[in-house]
Amino acid sequence: MALLRRFGHDRSGNVASTFALSILPLVGLAGAAVDYSRATKLQSNLQQITDAAALSAAAAKASSSDARVNVALGFFRTASSPSQVSHEATASVSGKTVTVTAKDLLKTGILGAIGINEIVVAARSKAERIKQGPPVCVMALSHTASGAVTFARSSSFVADGCAIHSNSSSGNSLVVQGSASVKAGALCAVGGVSVPSSLAAMAESNCDRLEDPFRNLPEAVATGCDYNKKTVQPGDTETLYGDKTYCNGLDIKGNATLQPGLYIIKNGPLTISSQANVTGAGVTFYLVGQGAGFTFNGSGKIDLSAMTSGPYQGMLIVQDRVSNTGATNTLNGDSTTKLSGAIYTPTQSLTLNGSGTFGQASAFMPIIADQIKFAGSATARSDVNAVKTPAPLPVTWTGARLID
């Protein structure tokens, strides 16, 4: 009893306070385990959202970086989140790469009792666009023209294994009207499309604006004149020579054999009449100056293939981008028309009035122009192994992958 009386009056220790102090670390550890589990689950959910946002923004059919940013941030406006969570998200675009970052502030439960009121949870994802679509073999470069690519009247066009693309942001960027019919690997426009119901599921709007693949071609040097208003008359037979300058145009009405080389057509048109018979391998026509356009009438025989080496390899017709004004271009082909090589008129329009099986004999005839109008039958084939061009044809962006 004396021992118990001494314990009751002993002030050298406080059991209650000692116990309270010892329990605080235990409470903190238990609270940390609970809140850490919640934070881990939240971080996993946040990472899934940033991954999906980056992939969707990178793969989206969008013509601007701002549009991709909006696609990414839209995920955070619609994504469900636990109560007491606040999303903070950013998105940026650099070339073909989209980066999305996000931060959540998780309000704690038990940890709040020891002064830890929130936990910061962060996630970051980076995705890049990848090219999976077919190569583009018909491409309008204009950024603003209405009907930059147009198929009119009863035209019939088949693009074997390749895509048709318009860079115009017009509401009617790519148009298929009347009884025209089109078959291609893809139909895509930066702006809007106006097509019949049979093509509605295939034709896409809000596509990426593609770069001109031949924008870096060198300008041909056209000093002096080797020929002036050169004409091959009906019934005549002549041999023409490359690496020459034909001033004020070249008009072929008779029979002509073209030797290999670069044919500079300066300040006038290149014309092949319906009664002409023209053959040539390894030739490139370079159109420069006032009125330097071309007209091919395919009732006669035309068999031309592009140069196979040098800066213009694979290019059959090249229009100078700087010094070429006041010209139009028309291609009237038929089954006897064989053109192997690219047709490139970046600041001029091109009208095609083919008939029959025009284009079937041409293994490689991509067309890139400011605007392109089809009013007849034609087949554009893109056998990229048939002819090597100075730069590869563009390919549509149709997918994305995570890279970080």
Mean pLDDT, rounded, of the chain: 83
Kindly state the helix (H) or strand (E) to which residue 55 belongs, with its residue range.
helix 15-59
pLDDT, tens digit (0-9, with 9 covering 90-100), for 260-315: 999 999 999 999 998 899 999 999 999 999 999 999 987 778 999 999 999 999 99
- Which DSSP state fits 364? B
* Averaged pLDDT, 390-395: 88
256: left (phi over 0), alpha (psi -120 to 50) or beta: beta
pTM to 2 decimals?
0.73
CA 202, 207, 209, 211 dihedral sign is: negative
Per-residue pLDDT at 369 exceeds 80: yes
Say if CB 281 and CB 256 are below 8 A apart: no
**What average pLDDT does the segment 348-361 reach?**
76
List residues bridging with 56 in a β-sheet.
none
Q: Tokens 């048709």 appear where? A: 164
Integer Cα distance of 263 and 272 in angstroms:
14
- Let me know: does 360 contact 380? Beta carbons within 8 Å: no
**DSSP per-residue string spanning 157-215:** EEEET-EEEE---STTSEEE-TT-EEE-SEEEESS-EE--HHHHTTEE-SPPPPPPTTT
In this predicted model, what pLDDT tens digit does every residue of 178-189 receive, in sequence order?
Answer: 888 888 888 899
Closest CA to 395 of 216, 158, 208: 208
Nearest to 240 by CA among 275, 295, 278: 278
Residue 223 has a pLDDT of 81
Task: Band the pLDDT of 7: cuts 50, 70, 90.
Answer: very low
Q: What is the pLDDT of residue 19?
A: 41
- Closest among 348, 337, 329 to 377, alpha carbons compared: 337
d(CA 39, CA 16): 34
pLDDT band at 15 (very low <50, low <70, confident <90, very high): very low
Q: What is the mean pLDDT of residues 204-217?
A: 90
What's residue 60's pLDDT?
80
Read off the pLDDT of each residue in 174-199 and give the average, rounded to a whole number: 88
Which residue in 366, 331, 332, 334 sits closest to 350, CA to CA?
331
Q: Which residues pair with 140 in a beta bridge?
A: 166, 369
CB of 150 closer than 8 Å to CB of 168: no
